[in-house]
Structure 1
Amino acid sequence: MKKGLLILSVAALGFAACGGGFQKGPSGLLYNIHNDVKGDSIADGDFISLNIIAKTDGDSVLYNSYELDRPSQTFVSKPAYPGDLFYAIKLLSKGDSATFKIDLDSAEAKGQPKPATIKGKYIIYTVKIEEVIHKDTADEKGFQSKVEAYFKAEGERSKNAEEKNIKKYVADSKVKADALPSGLFVATTTEGKGIQPVVGDSVVVNYTGKLLSGKVFDTSVEADAKKAKIFNPARAPYQPLSLIIGKGNVIPGFDEGVLKMKKGGKATIIIPSKLGYGEQGMPGGMIGPFTPLVFDLELVDVVQKNEVPTAAPVVPVAPAK
């Protein structure tokens, strides 16, 4: 943390020690810096990469970047009010870690609506600052080049680690998975007794998609959605995905995995990024560049392309771009 003007301004706002190792900040902010590395503090407009866990008072996890196998990245905004999360983050520098308690009642009083689903007094953030690129107003182009170089380096890191991470997942899961020439892994958990689909057939599939960390990002199964705490009432009723297989309606690895199954069968497939969302990942989503995926599949039905398919609701799985 910077030891100059920032400390003076913090002192002027009346920070003081409080119980449990936390210190008091403005608007009910409580903070505890666990690791304080010397360096320039984060400022408005800086680019930061950080690992962050957000929880409620009752330890309900709202967000966990560690489950996504990559840190979060953002440009630092001017705080909406003294004591919000960006205000707290600006107390840190690269390498620092801390816990912040953001007072929701104070936030509401400052014009930040309290989330209806959160009943406690605080949202609790545990953060570790992995990288900081300080904004350079005198060289905006140079600043943007540094940010682009960071993303390129992170992409290369993920790319180089992907094969090793997949092999480790297969070994740790202790399932018998067949490695296909494409790079897809298929582990049959229940052998189907019905017909095997071919390209152009209509299929009905239950699926649960996960990252290697086990974090569920999508599912057609209501029980799995509730267990993973991603249940969305607006989506109910949860029902199987219906699609014509092998026509690019889903990511290539999903197509290939289903084509290896028989009606009534269940399988787990591990999809390398080249058969998923590739080097771009899913924009705005939790699937980053060079991210392998795991799908638990159940092939509920197969209607051959020369037959009339029965109607079934469609739950989209976005295809690769």
Structure 2
Amino acid sequence: MRRKNFLLFSISFLLFAVACDRIVDDPIGDEMARLQAWLQVNKITTTPTASGLYFIDIKDGNGLAPKDSNYVVLSYEVRDLDGNLYETTNKDVAKLYDIFAATKHYVPSYTQYLSKVSVLKGLVEALSMMKEGGKARLIMPSKLAYGAGASGIPSYKTLIYDVELKKIVADPKAYEKDSISRYLSHHPGYTSFNDSLYYKKTVEGTRQCIVANDSVVQVYYVGRFLDGFVFDTNIDTVALKNNIYSTSKTYETLNFTVGSDSYAPGFNLAVKKMIEGEWATFVIPSFNMYGAEGQSSGTTPIPPYATLIFDIKLVKVDPK
């Protein structure tokens, strides 16, 4: 009897070990089995592409298809098979699913379309099948998405992308220039400095002085996008009003040496146009800020070719 029990225990242990081995060593197999079950339950009969992407056309676009190196404007929502929402460009949807972040700029994404990429291959493939104005649902196995995982996305997770290709931009510099022109037409009173920046004084200065390279200055600032969204400030009341206050940040004057590489050329140029005690607003094109690369670091990422607005107070100048 003891021998029989030992034999049953050994078989059970072996089956458990095999099952555990499958869980550990075959996460992709488990993912695909779950995906197939989900497709069957939800009666999805779409034939996948050769790569494994399920492309469901929701609305045909009537514009052009994207070409390599074009920039695309996309609205999207990203869920898993259980309906958990991970990303969205829609602020109201983010609030509904309790993933809203005050530091996130909820607008359609603006990114370069490249057919040869190592991540989100499923999205790139889908865009090649769409035209401007089109909408589609994409069911992307993890090999076409984030694979073993990315920030906020669990490993080997099949994702559902609901995406709208809102616009294709062939010339991002011309597109930015047009955006600046539209903004200035609705916000008159700016003076242009060789199109390097646009300047409007809002409070007169109190002391005439020359701000030059190597001058040490103290400034307060508020950084905004063209739609008014505040992405950065060193003024505590502004941070609190816009729900971006951080206890890890010191809300004091920014002290820096004008002309240093620590700050973007446009910010340096703006301060050099001011006198002590003055408040002014500057519209600064991307070529004088973060250019075609944008800036991914910081609380709120800066997209490529982003024109930025800075409200600046020049508190003090040490000419050196």
How would you bin the TM-score normalised by the shorter chain?
0.5 to 0.7
SS of residue matched to 1:258: helix
Q: Give the Å deviation of 1:171.
A: 1.9
Unaligned runs of 5+ in 2: 1-32, 46-54, 63-67, 77-86, 89-93, 141-146, 154-158
Change (3 A) 1:248 1:14: closer
What residue is the counterpart of 1:196 in the other structure?
209
Kept in 1, the 8 Å contact 2:211–2:275? The answer is: no
The equivalent of 2:75 in structure 1 is: 52
- 1:210 counterpart residue number: 224
Matched, 1:94 2:136: no
CA contact (8 A) 1:65 1:72 kept: no
CA distance in structure 2 between the aligned counterparts of 1:286 and 1:265, rounded to whole angstroms: 27
CA distance in structure 2 between the partners assigned to 1:269 and 1:123 by the alignment: 41
Within 5 Å, give how 1:1-321 maps onto structure 2. Answer: 13-15=37-39, 34-36=58-60, 51-53=74-76, 54-55=87-88, 56=94, 57-58=97-98, 60=100, 62=104, 64=106, 66=108, 70-71=110-111, 73=113, 93-95=129-131, 96-98=134-136, 115=152, 126-128=163-165, 154=170, 157-174=171-188, 176-181=189-194, 183-199=196-212, 200-228=214-242, 230-234=244-248, 236-278=249-291, 280-282=292-294, 284=296, 286-289=302-305, 291-305=306-320
Residue 241 (structure 1) shift: 1.3
RMSD over aligned Cα atoms: 5.0
Aligned-residue offset at 1:186: 0.8
Q: Partners of 2:319 and 2:282 in 1: how far apart?
A: 23
Runs of 4+ in 1 over 6 A off after TM superposition: 46-49, 74-79, 85-92, 99-102
Q: CA deviation at 1:257?
A: 1.7
How much does 1:252 deviate? 2.6
The amino acid of 1:208's aligned partner reads: V
- Evaluate the alpha carbon distance shift between residue 227 and residue 281 of structure 1 in structure 2; reply closer, same or farther with a 3 A threshold: farther
Structure 1: unaligned runs, 5 residues or longer: 1-8, 24-30, 39-45, 80-84, 103-109, 117-121, 132-152, 306-321
Contact 1:197 1:304 (C-alpha < 8 Å) held by counterparts: yes
Secondary structure of residue in 2 paired with 1:167 = helix
Shift of residue 204, structure 1, vs aligned partner: 0.7
Contact between 1:258 and 1:299, CA under 8 Å: does it hold in 2? yes
User: For 1:16-47, what per-residue CA distance to the aligned partner results, in whole angstroms no more than 9, with x for missing partners?
Assistant: 797xxx99xxxxxxx99642569xxxxxxx99
Q: Cα–Cα, structure 1 residues 58 and 127, in superposed 2: closer, same or farther, change >3 Å?
A: farther
**Greater C-alpha Rg:** 2
In 1, Cα distance between equivalents of 2:166 and 2:178 = 26
Q: 1:123 to 1:202 in 2, by over 3 A?
A: farther
- Equivalent pairs counted in the alignment come to 244
Deviation at 1:240, TM superposition (A): 2.3
In structure 2, relative to structure 1, the CA distance for the partners of 1:223 and 1:63 (3 Å cut) is same
Letter in 2 for 1:304: P
What is aligned with 1:42? Answer: none
C-alpha contact 2:225 2:308 (8 A) present in aligned 1: yes
For 1:37 and 1:11, the matched residues in 2 are separated by 28
Change (3 A) 1:171 1:48: closer
- Deviations for 1:145-178, whole angstroms, at most 9, x for unmatched residues? xxxxxxxx84xx122233332222122124x212
* Cα distance between partner residues in 2 of 1:277 and 1:189: 25
The two structures have a TM-score, normalised by structure 2, of 0.55
Q: Are the counterparts in 1 of residues 126 and 138 from structure 2 also a CA contact under 8 Å?
A: no
Change (3 A) 1:211 1:72: farther
CA shift in 2, pair 1:114/1:167, >3 Å: closer
Q: How far has the Cα of 1:259 moved from its partner? A: 2.0
Shift of 1:179: 1.8
Secondary structure at 1:185 match in 2: strand
Structure 1's 12 and 256: CA in aligned 2 closer, same or farther, altered over 3 A? closer
Letter in 2 for 1:282: G
State the Cα distance separating 1:228 from its structure 2 match: 4.8
Distance 2:70 2:179 in 1: 25
Partner SS for 2:179: helix
